[in-house]
Chain A
């Protein structure tokens, strides 16, 4: 043995009863009581006790060489006073690499290992302390967030109920409006049908409409100078364009209406201008409603206008319904997402977190998506919210975002987000260990678990 005295003392003091037995923990000491012989712990073989730790592997289970590298798959116990004891594979004993902080693994390798357990222990205790502090704070924050989450959840539930109520109202309205709309439409249709019928038998239809107006009375109405004939001038004075009531007809137009002459008598009037007025396509008598509408159409017009109004009303309510419906759907979807056992992750919804890594800008929008934006501004989807993906024990320790933009000659991009406990909520790192396979670290108080305190306490020794 070439150990510094200090190390020897440490070993001696930690194994008072069985000085010789290197590499075992106190709980195993009972197997190594100094006797004449040693029974392999698996019971497979009895060997002389001086073959324990003699750097030759006798037991199939390696139990005769806890302190040397002789047995494959053996393990060596680092006592690590002042720090944390742990096992190392026995292949790391005397390999010239310091594994145990108490240097006990390198007792014969000419490697000067320092006992760093005190420092490590102090550092770890300090670390654990600050971790514990962070954990406590994190847990407090988490509690707040849970409470906030509860409120949010209630709000959202209330909101959902309200929306549902609104939707029900809208539904009732819709039912009424649909009926009204249908009725109006039917009315218009009926009138339209009449109109169409009228147009089909135009003469009759018009005659019936102008029963009060005989060609004779119109002739005398237009014959302003009562000379028994209509002149172009009289026509221009009395008639107007059906489309534009203000416009004065031109001389030529008047002449044309009169069948090509400048004057017509009654009988000639009945053959020419009367037809124009009666059909009401071009001209009408100034100050009077154009020919067609003159006759019975105000009813239809009113019906159409009422129908249009009903339809508009219906559309408005339908739109409102659609909006509320979508809102409910979104809200339901949102509420159906798994926000953890206490809905502690609910607050992340609709939030996004950014991180810049070299030339790339990453954004994580929890329960939505992960994106990467390059310096040139091109945005690439690294995955859309898929599911929680932690181990069965810690389902909520990882999130999976899938089906991002496909890679060249490869699969679609995806991202696994690991959640870690911290007092802040922030995206801590994004990496791409394999092509288009991203991993991100996302720190948040809600990832803090009381169990971490147990582990911390344990590691404190």
Chain B
């Protein structure tokens, strides 16, 4: 869906005309720079130097679970309270809040899956300058320096990370307004303050006049004024990472995977925004925000999780940035240079400092650590991993039926067809347009008959219309977000004047979830799923196309929790889909806005991109970045949302999308139709082939998602440093990626490309071209000629990948089909893989342990399948159809052995030119033990 387009009221049209002005690039003027966001400007004006904060060591309290310590700002005598926890799994949590805030400051709820379990800390030594604590069993120590306050985490003699080393800790304490515009309640508040401050030393100092700057108590951007009843509340902290030259994460930005330094430019901004026609390669905020940054060096991978849902800016600087390779080499030779170091500074508008330092040391450890805090990727229904056909809009039931028929006619599989905003009656979500979709249930039944599904959009802006049940209920229950004056907040969105339900309210979420019940959501059926768009939230006539920061959610300002609103929308929707099935079925919900923890609720996509080659390229780093911080189920609109792709671009995009986690074609209302068969038989065949490659690999995709769900390891991985953390050669490369560990994909993203250069990692490893079975050595850049027929994909030598090569109309139709195992041998003639099978759509895998999880291993010329989950039970009709062994030599005899001692000879075929051995029809059930011996 687009930010703003057509078919709106005339008022909006006028406003649009001003906004859109016909150009194809983002209108930067609609969005704030750091300079225009006064807290960012204030904070950024603060330069590194001596920190005014001092640790009051005498206030130290050390319990079994945490350390507390007061900090004092020597300039204004305001005291802060530091809480420090050693968390299980090699993490440290640092919380800093005001010791006695005027009123509570916002702490982000519902992101952590539990209260993270702690480990004891012990004090090793202490003097008047600071103290040394032991961080758990490792040789890790925490050094607290008193003046200026600073924290250093060390392992052995090595500093892993320092806090406030550049003195940029800044905490704008809550204060009473002292300028002429002070509100009438001031007096009352003051009494409270006096009462509170009696217990505080240095109270005189806190009464010193704070310097009042413009924008502290009110801020105007374009025509919007932000009343700031709480005044300045921002926070900031710096982190230094010695030895680190590469940092990643903090999505969502349309930028390279490796984060750039922000010296002299804008910081990376995290503020969920509906950005119309976003620009590539810049740090502007987009639809989602995950305040998690990963650092990586050959020695160690670490992560910083800044748990704050307010508008946030991140500055990155590096002492090696800008140095040439030669310069760095010179430094190294002369041995004189400082070690490389990356400095990071986080600035948020409100809330508290609550940061989780994930100490790795490996990438896998960091993923596990972050997963232990915020949970793992929701395990989607298998069908959701298949192909999705979307368009704004499929016009009516007939159109849906015709497109469905088109896929059958052209023998292209698909699982989901999507309906955008036009399906609802006047954009009243949960309803159907009575002319275009008069019989939604019949339509859904028609899809069910083909074992296919549908997604209909449900956005969180609700048309203000008293005859609309959803609106009148939300209003009467008081579930709408309030404006600063206490009335229901209203803004413009698709339906015109709209209210925004307060999804931060658990009662609201419970009510919302109940609206997905089959008897509430008229026309819905089991095969209808949901799409949450515009949940930044998008407010067409709001500041920066979003909600006023002084809108009110219960006790909190929208300012405090803006970035988590979208997460709650998806959370409540997913809960609704679970509840409607009585907790049996897994939900599938797509969201555009997200926050840390959103991975638990479904899929995200990269929003309103464009049909341009650069937009195809950027899908790789954008989804890789999300994968690194927990969100594996990521995709981009195949073909590009805005504009119309050339057939070549469309084909290349299908080929790339087929190897990205969320695989959905989507198009803007104004673009010409682009169903796969509309570009001539040749292109139809190319797209069919791309989609079929996806379907054949669904068993592997499903298993990767199971793995991601269990462990938090990303599905789509950055090739080098996640699986090859020592291989520095390509730390900045983001034009290729690994799926799991075993498939390396190098999309073709250049127009008219005749070849690509792929980097095959791993010295001493081998990779097999999955299309030709050609073997290549790892540790090299390899030029691969390409045609339009496919993109280069390689299987790692040493891996076993299960496929279902009988591609059918939809993934459901393939449920009982047999598997073909692709065994790619390592140079040492070894390989292993997994096979995961369950019913594909319920929670039975979790609740009743109904699944099959097996290890497939090839060693000593023997391939075997062994149960990895003895406690589980599931029966499948699927069997092993064929085994293809790549890099094999010709055996004289192949024997299949069953546990009961039965043996049989397998026929085989050997292709000597490619060293491919094909075993004919082992025929064993996929869920049982078996062994195949090559002799």
Contacts and interface: CB of A to CB of B under 8 A. Distances in A.
Interface of A: 54-56, 58, 69-70, 72, 89, 91-92, 95-97, 109, 358, 407-410, 431-435, 437
Given A91-B806, A433-B399, 18 more contacts: A54-B921, A55-B818, A56-B881, A56-B920, A56-B921, A58-B920, A91-B807, A91-B808, A92-B808, A95-B808, A96-B451, A97-B450, A409-B22, A409-B670, A432-B395, A434-B673, A435-B671, A437-B672
Contacts of B882: 56
A405 B170 CA distance: 59
16 contacts: A69-B808, A70-B881, A72-B806, A91-B411, A91-B806, A95-B451, A95-B808, A95-B814, A410-B670, A431-B399, A432-B395, A433-B399, A434-B671, A434-B672, A435-B670, A435-B671
Of listed A92, A432, A433, residue having the most chain B CB within 10 A: A433
A435 B669 CA distance: 6
B809 A91 contact: yes
Interface string B500-517: 000000000000000000
A54 B921 CA distance: 10
Contacts of A435: 669-672
A173 to B, nearest CB: 56
B481 interface: no
Contacts of A72: 805-807
What 5 A-B pairs have minimum CB-CB distances, sorted nearest first? A95-B813, A434-B673, A56-B921, A91-B808, A435-B670
Interface residues of B, number: 30
Interface in B423-450: 435, 449-450
Contacts of A95: 451, 808-809, 813-814
A125 B811 CA distance: 36
Contacts of A96: 451, 812-813
Contacts of A358: 435
Contacts of B814: 95
B554 to A, nearest CB: 41
A431 B920 contact: no
A69 B817 contact: yes
B782 interface: no
A70 B398 CA distance: 33
B185 to A, nearest CB: 49
A437 B806 contact: no
Contacts of A56: 881-882, 920-921
B113 interface: no
B6 interface: yes
Contacts of A58: 920
> Which applies to chain B's interface (DSSP): helix, strand, loop or mixed?
loop
A96 B815 CA distance: 10
B411 A89 contact: yes
Interface string B661-700: 0000000011111000000000000000000000000000
A109 B814 CA distance: 11
A204 B812 CA distance: 116
Given A92-B808, A409-B670, A433 B449 contact: no
Interface of B: 6, 22, 395, 398-399, 411, 435, 449-451, 669-673, 805-809, 812-814, 816-818, 881-882, 920-921
A97 B920 contact: no
Contacts of A69: 806, 808, 817
B828 to A, nearest CB: 31
Nearest to A73: B411
B28 to A, nearest CB: 20
B672 A92 contact: no
A109 B813 CA distance: 10
A109 B816 CA distance: 9
B449 A97 contact: yes
Contacts of A408: 6, 670
Contacts of B398: 431
A451 to B, nearest CB: 22
A435 to B, nearest CB: 5
A433 B395 contact: yes
B693 to A, nearest CB: 12
Contacts of A434: 671-673
A437 B809 CA distance: 29
B9 to A, nearest CB: 14
Contact of A92 (B22, B449, B809): B809
A257 B752 CA distance: 101
A96 B814 CA distance: 10
B345 to A, nearest CB: 41
A404 to B, nearest CB: 15
Contact of B395 (A70, A409, A410, A431): A431
A266 to B, nearest CB: 88
Given A56-B920, A358-B435, A97 B451 contact: yes
Contacts of B809: 91-92, 95, 97
A431 B398 CA distance: 10
A397 to B, nearest CB: 18
A301 B398 CA distance: 80
A194 B809 CA distance: 99
Contacts of B805: 72
Contacts of A97: 449-451, 809, 813
B819 to A, nearest CB: 13
Nearest to A357: B435
Contacts of B817: 69
B410 to A, nearest CB: 11
A406 B398 CA distance: 26
B6 A437 contact: no
Nearest to A90: B806
A410 to B, nearest CB: 5
B840 to A, nearest CB: 13
A375 B727 CA distance: 67
Nearest to B434: A358
A199 B451 CA distance: 104
A54 B923 CA distance: 11
Nearest to A98: B449
Contacts of B818: 55
Contacts of B806: 69-70, 72, 91
B880 to A, nearest CB: 11
B6 A433 contact: no
Of listed B6, B451, B813, B882, residue having the most chain A CB within 10 A: B813
B694 to A, nearest CB: 15
A427 to B, nearest CB: 17
Contacts of B921: 54, 56
A410 B411 CA distance: 32
A407 B668 CA distance: 14
A72 B22 CA distance: 48
A97 B814 CA distance: 12
A48 to B, nearest CB: 10
Nearest to B399: A433
A323 B660 CA distance: 69
A117 to B, nearest CB: 18
Given A69-B817, A70-B806, A97-B809, A407 B670 contact: yes
Contacts of A409: 22, 670
A58 B669 CA distance: 47
B625 to A, nearest CB: 31
Nearest to A58: B920
Contacts of A89: 411
Contacts of A92: 808-809
A433 B449 CA distance: 24
Contacts of B816: 109
Nearest to B668: A435
Contacts of A70: 806, 881
A109 B806 CA distance: 15
A409 B450 CA distance: 38
A99 B398 CA distance: 21
A432 B436 CA distance: 12
Nearest to A437: B672
A73 to B, nearest CB: 8
A124 B669 CA distance: 38
A434 B675 CA distance: 11
B367 to A, nearest CB: 37
